[in-house]
Structures are given as structure tokens and as C-alpha cells.
């Protein structure tokens, strides 16, 4: 896994509530045998019409917005537990998702895959949307070490929660597999004893 460093980036605002994983990556794309390439089908049915032409109204198709941060309205990632949803977001180029509430499984899957879910208050989320509305190039700074998110232009900031074990993994670029591999001696000892 890549190390998670402090991100200062513009963002893509997706002001829709209850975005479910079926929308993030529709079921018909799950038969793939690789984790890569899902970004092409991220939000497939919102992004493209039946003839595979980009829908101009969808935010990912609006050239004004770009960046490594996706900002979404509350209850992001609900529905099916498919990990493919996280792979699609990551593969597209996002490294953090900001919302005022995340579905449980989506949050775990994200942390397992190096995508940081940043949960902020409703009020702070509203501020971000407002600022991005006024200026599409608004920068957000996400500092994992200090667990703080800042709207760079106004200096307003808010702390966010993250499980201390997962934080450590993200900062070191460790994923669970790396961590488990680092326990090699313990695992060997266990195998000997049983």
C-alpha cells in the first residue's frame, strides 16, 4: 500500500445523499479478475448514457472539478459490501472521501485499501460545499498525522476520528497484509505450538 501523506488538493463535490455501492460500481462489472481498471466504471450509470457518451451534468464530467478528494453528502457507501466500490474510487485517483456519515462496511473496506474516509460534521460539510460552489479550485488539506481537515482559503478546520491501528497502517503505508507478515515470528511460534 502507498504511504498516506498529507494531502492538499482541490476536490470533486458530489452533493448526493445515500450513495450506494451499486451506483459506485454496478454489479455487471464484478466478474473481472483484477483490482485495477475499475476506475473506468466508477459511477458508470451516472457518468455515461446508454450509448456510452459522457453525461455533461454529472460532476465527474465537469472539467472545472478535479483532485484527489471526493466530497459526498451523508451516508456514503451504503448497500452491498462489494470491495470493488473502494477499488473503483481509488483506481480513479481519489485518496480520500469526505462525508458526514459513512456506511460501516464501506469505511472498513476503504481503510483496508488505503482510501481515507474523513467523517466531518454536517455543518463543516456544508461549509465545504459552499466554498467549492463559490470557487471550484478550493483547496482542502487533510492531515492524517494530526487528524485535521482544513479549508485552506478560509483557514477553517475540524478534527476527525480514525482508529489508531489503521492510522498507523496508513501513515506507514502498511496494509493489513504487511502487518500480518510482520508478525511472522509469532505466527511461526503459534504453528509450532499447535
Partner 1 sequence: MSAKTLFDKVWERHVVHQIEGGPAVLYIDQHLIHEVTSPVAFKGLDRRGIKVRRPDRTLATPDHNIPTMGQELPIKEELSRMQVQQLSENCKKHNITLFGLGHKYNGVVHIIGPELGITKPGMTIVCGDSHTATHGAFGSIAFGIGTSEIEMVLASQCLFQAKPKSMRINVNGKLGKGVTSKDIILYIIAKLTAGGGTGYFVEFAGDTIRSLSMEARMTICNMAIEMGARGGIIAPDETTFEYIKGREFAPKGEEWDKALAYWKTLPTDEGAKFDIEYSFDAADIEPMITYGTNPGMGLKISQNVPSDEPNKQALEYMGLKAGDSMIGKPIDYVFIGSCTNGRIEDFRAFASVVKGKKKADNVTVWIVPGSKQVERQIEAEGLKAIFEAAGMQLRQPGCSACLAMNEDKVPAGKYSVATTNRNFEGRQGPGSRTFLASPLTAAACAITGKITDVRTII
Stretch that binds partner 1, among 40-48, 63-71, 109-117, 135-143 (CB under 8 A): 109-117
113 near partner 1, rule: CB under 8 A:
yes
**Residues 25/84, Cβ–Cβ less than 8 Å:** yes
Give all strands (DSSP E) within the chain, no chain letters: 7-9, 11-14, 69-72, 96-99, 116-119, 140-143, 148-151, 157-159
64 to 103, contacts with partner 1 by CB under 8 A?
Answer: 81, 83
Contact 25, 44 (CB under 8 A): yes
Q: Pick one of 20, 22, 45, 176: the residue that binds partner 1 (CB under 8 A).
A: 176
Smaller CB separation from partner 1, 50 or 164:
164
Instruction: State in angstroms the smallest separation of the CB of 186 from partner 1.
Output: 5
Q: Using DSSP bridges, classify how beta strands 157-159 and 148-151 pair: parallel, antiparallel or unpaired.
A: antiparallel
CB-CB contact of 63 with 3 (8 Å): no
Number of residues lying near partner 1 (CB under 8 A): 25
Smallest distance, partner 1 to C-beta of residue 169, A? 11
Amino acid at each position: 500500500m502507498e504511504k498516506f501523506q498529507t494531502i492538499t488538493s482541490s476536490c470533486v463535490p458530489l452533493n448526493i445523499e445515500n450513495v450506494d455501492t451499486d451506483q459506485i460500481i454496478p454489479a455487471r462489472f464484478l466478474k473481472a479478475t483484477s483490482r485495477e481498471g475499475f476506475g473506468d466504471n466508477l459511477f458508470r450509470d451516472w457518468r455515461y448514457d446508454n450509448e456510452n457518451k459522457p453525461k455533461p451534468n454529472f460532476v465527474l464530467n465537469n472539467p472545472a472539478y478535479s483532485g484527489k478528494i471526493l466530497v459526498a453528502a451523508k451516508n456514503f457507501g451504503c448497500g452491498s459490501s462489494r470491495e470493488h466500490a473502494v477499488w473503483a474510487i481509488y483506481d480513479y485517483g481519489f485518496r480520500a472521501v469526505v462525508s458526514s456519515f459513512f456506511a460501516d462496511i464501506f469505511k472498513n473496506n476503504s481503510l483496508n485499501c488505503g482510501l481515507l474516509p474523513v467523517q466531518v460534521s454536517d455543518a463543516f460539510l456544508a461549509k465545504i460545499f459552499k466554498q467549492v460552489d463559490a470557487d471550484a479550485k478550493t483547496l482542502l488539506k487533510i492531515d492524517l498525522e494530526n487528524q485535521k481537515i482544513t479549508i485552506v482559503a478560509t483557514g477553517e478546520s475540524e478534527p476527525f476520528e480514525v482508529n489508531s491501528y489503521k492510522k498507523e497502517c496508513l501513515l506507514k503505508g502498511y496494509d493489513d497484509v504487511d502487518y500480518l507478515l510482520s508478525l511472522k515470528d509469532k505466527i511461526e511460534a503459534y504453528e509450532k505450538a499447535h
